[in-house]
Structure 1
Amino acid sequence: MTTAGRRHRIASDTTAAALRDALVGLGIGRGDEVIVPSFGPGGPADAVRLAGAVPVFADIDPRTFCLDPEAVEAGVTSRTAAVVPAHVFGHPAPMAQLTELADRRALALVEEGEVADDAGAVARRRAHARFLDSALRGVIVPYTAPGAHHLYHRYTVRVPGNGRPDRDAFAAALAARGVRATVSVPVPVHRMPAHRSGDVLPETERAAADTLSLPVHSGVTQRELTHIADTCNALGGLI
């Protein structure tokens, strides 16, 4: 393992095969562990397995949905070689804290690069998000950490109540009223057959059960946004 204290940035659209190559290039392989998120796409975990290493899943910060540095540190063992964080829904991972942790524990930190978004599209999404932040009641709106620049690739709310049953009923009620919401992470990666593990990730499980993404893409009109807010508020956040 030749990774100590090194930070590496890869393209935001990197495939699992390309990430595998980056890990192999760092000397990471059989006998190593790499800490990855479970809340999000399976690409990082796939890449770790392709490199011959073992993915270890760490829990998330329930506000940002990104890796929780404390959970990452709790998962470090003598076999840990690297951490692969992800920026989730457009909220950046806590790179300052993870960099400090990686330096202190002599780990590689493999970071995805910034998404090359059109500035105008980002500005519109942020404006849409601000409107929904102020208009929505009964659901928990997205959180932005101090100093972070949220890109709002998805506007993901949390539906209070009994987890998945209430979230799914809420999504169905929205759809019946013409609002198309999506479940961004139907199944956490550590629950998928290819990566099933005994990792205990309570915040990841809760987020997968109660989150729902509302439309904020740059093509959404103000009338549509108002309809989204009014429809959510009429449902009261809980079926």
Structure 2
Amino acid sequence: MATADELRHELTRAGVGPGDEVIVPSFGTAEAAEAALLVGARPVFVDIDADTYCVDPAAVAAALTPRTGAIVPLHTFGHPADMARIGELGAEHGVFVLVGAVQEEPDAETAERQAHAAYLTAKLRGLVTPRVAPGVRHTYQQYVVRVPGNGRPDRDAFARALRSRGVVCHVPVQTPVHRTPRFQRELWLGETERASGECLALPVDAAMSRRELRQVVSVCNALGGMASAA
């Protein structure tokens, strides 16, 4: 993941500065929004695609104005953004498109994570497992599921239950960037809000053994009724 300073450097090279708007995701880290501030521009937060967690090209299109100086789509959890469509939008409107995270080159560690992710996806019940857009390669830097139910309270209860049974897990995005004190914006990004309340990252490290993966599946599935009925 690129740092805010690295993104700032790229925005500066592209001529983005004061008075410009930079379209950025709110679901994820604040690096892109921070980079916009560092060059004197205004970050414009857009919603995500519910399946990929990357910025929704339709939301990007709707946010474009004559002041738009750049789009920073970012890849999320190892799933690439829809760079083909976003690149088209950039070309159509003469807007610089900055990719803030380079896809990992295939290696043994990535391949192992992908194999672990495939196992979890095939075995887990009662959770919404990651979806992958056609024709792209997910590197599973994080394996993120959704916990069905009533949003954050049910997701957090499920996470506590997993941890009490020895499964390490974490909430990948606690608060959307546009709701943090640094960027406080009065706007509603529906898919971003839903994802921040439902998503949970399960372990998928390359070093995990098959026994450890089976334990994750066993514990999650034993609690699956809790997730489904919540």
Q: Does the alignment reach a TM-score above 0.5?
A: yes
Give CA deviations for 1:180-228 in whole Å, capped at 9, x if unaligned: 1110101110111111112320000000000000001101111111111
Asked if residue 81 in structure 1 is aligned to residue 75 in structure 2, the reply is no
**Aligned-pair RMSD on alpha carbons?**
1.2
SS of corresponding position for 1:35: strand
Asked if residue 196 in structure 1 is aligned to residue 196 in structure 2, the reply is no
Partner amino acid, structure 1, of 2:146: R
Q: CA deviation at 1:115?
A: 4.2
**What is the number of equivalent residue pairs in this alignment?**
227
Distance 1:199 1:223 in 2: 45
Asked if residue 218 in structure 1 is aligned to residue 206 in structure 2, the reply is yes
Aligned residue in 2 for 1:168 = 156
Distance 2:127 2:182 in 1: 33
- Contiguous gaps of at least 5 residues in structure 1: 1-12
SS of corresponding position for 1:39: coil
Asked if residue 127 in structure 1 is aligned to residue 112 in structure 2, the reply is no
Asked if residue 112 in structure 1 is aligned to residue 95 in structure 2, the reply is no
TM-score norm. by structure 2 comes to 0.95
Asked if residue 181 in structure 1 is aligned to residue 169 in structure 2, the reply is yes
Q: CA deviation at 1:19?
A: 1.4
Aligned residue in 2 for 1:50 = 38
- Contiguous gaps of at least 5 residues in structure 2: none
Residue 24 of structure 2 contacts residue 33 of structure 2 at CA under 8 Å; is this kept in 1? yes
Give CA deviations for 1:90-129 in whole Å, capped at 9, x if unaligned: 0001000000111111111011352445610111111111
Asked if residue 34 in structure 1 is aligned to residue 22 in structure 2, the reply is yes
Residue 110 of structure 2 contacts residue 139 of structure 2 at CA under 8 Å; is this kept in 1? yes
Distance 1:28 1:193, change over 3 A: same
Q: Post-superposition, which runs of at least 4 consecutive aligned residues in structure 1 deviate over 2 A? A: 112-118
Aligned residue in 2 for 1:208 = 196
Residue 75 of structure 2 contacts residue 101 of structure 2 at CA under 8 Å; is this kept in 1? no
SS of corresponding position for 2:212: helix
Distance 1:113 1:186, change over 3 A: closer
Q: CA deviation at 1:169?
A: 0.1
Aligned residue in 1 for 2:60 = 72
Residue 2 of structure 2 contacts residue 101 of structure 2 at CA under 8 Å; is this kept in 1? no
Give CA deviations for 1:66-90 in whole Å, capped at 9, x if unaligned: 0000011111112111100111000
TM-score norm. by structure 1 comes to 0.92
